[in-house]
């Protein structure tokens, strides 16, 4: 049974990735046919959610980039890296609290790994 802490962590990860993909899509894909996201970005969100839900290392990892095993397919990894490169520097403008939480979590992880 998964602990509530891990469930919250998983939900926060999915929320952050989703917001970054939405930002990328709204700024780079103009024709969305009346939908919130284009089909490609919606597929990427669903893929990221699926990978996060199946992650066996959620208890010990902070971000997918810090994970021992990269479970994204090469094509999807290229797509998510493109999204992260674009959205990473811009997310602070649109979602400052999510960004701050991400920075704090990253700093805690660096301190934890130095002690190990």
Helix H or strand E segment including 17 = helix 4-28
Query: Against a cut of 0.75, is the pTM above it?
Result: yes
Reported as a single tens digit per residue, the pLDDT across 15-70 is 889 999 999 999 898 766 667 889 899 999 999 999 988 887 777 666 666 667 77
User: Cα–Cα distance between 10 and 62 in angstroms, integer?
Assistant: 10
Q: How far is CA 3 from the centre of its chain?
A: 20
């Amino acid at each position: 049974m998964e602990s509530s802490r891990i469930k919250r962590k998983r939900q926060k990860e999915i929320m952050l990735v989703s917001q970054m993909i939405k930002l990328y899509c709204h700024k780079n894909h103009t024709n969305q046919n009346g939908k919130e996201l284009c089909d490609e970005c919606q597929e990427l969100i669903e893929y990221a959610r699926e990978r996060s839900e199946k992650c066996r290392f959620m208890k010990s990892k902070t971000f997918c980039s810090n994970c021992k095993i990269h479970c994204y397919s090469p094509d999807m990894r290229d797509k998510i890296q493109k999204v992260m490169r674009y959205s990473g520097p811009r997310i602070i403008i649109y979602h400052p609290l999510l960004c701050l939480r991400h920075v704090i979590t990253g700093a805690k992880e660096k301190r934890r790994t130095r002690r190990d």
